[in-house]
């Protein structure tokens, strides 16, 4: 279940954070085959199903923006990370919104 106090950002806000060199980590939770189709510069790639056993690769002191294809998987991961003491923010709309709103050269699927 996804908590009601989940922090989230939209594509333009993420773009602004990147352009302003804000301190955060971008965690892509899509599958390997999805990254082969479309990607933006991410700091960490851990498919959603591997998060529980690979959480130790994340730093609880980092602001972590979680992304997926459309925002559903990332919301689940964000909720899970938040429950476990991480500073997670959901990128609503995911790579699909990025392609539509920020960089049309990123393929849609």
Task: Provide the annotated active-site residues.
Answer: 68
Distance CA 51, CA 104 (A): 29
Place of tokens 């476990």: 84
**Percent of residues in the chain assigned helix, strand, coil, to nearest 5:** 40, 15, 40
Helix or strand run (H / E) with residue 91:
strand 87-91
Extract the tokens encoding 107: 């393929």
């Amino acid at each position: 279940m996804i908590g009601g106090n989940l922090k989230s950002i939209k594509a333009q806000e993420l773009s602004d954070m990147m352009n302003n060199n804000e301190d955060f980590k971008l965690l892509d939770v899509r599958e390997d085959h999805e990254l082969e189709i479309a990607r933006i510069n991410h700091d960490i790639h851990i498919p959603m199903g591997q998060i529980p056993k690979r959480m130790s690769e994340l730093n609880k002191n980092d602001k972590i923006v979680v992304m997926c294809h459309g925002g559903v998987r990332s919301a689940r991961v964000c909720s899970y990370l938040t429950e476990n003491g991480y500073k997670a923010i959901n990128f609503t709309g995911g790579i699909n919104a990025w392609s539509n709103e920020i960089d049309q050269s990123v393929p849609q699927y």
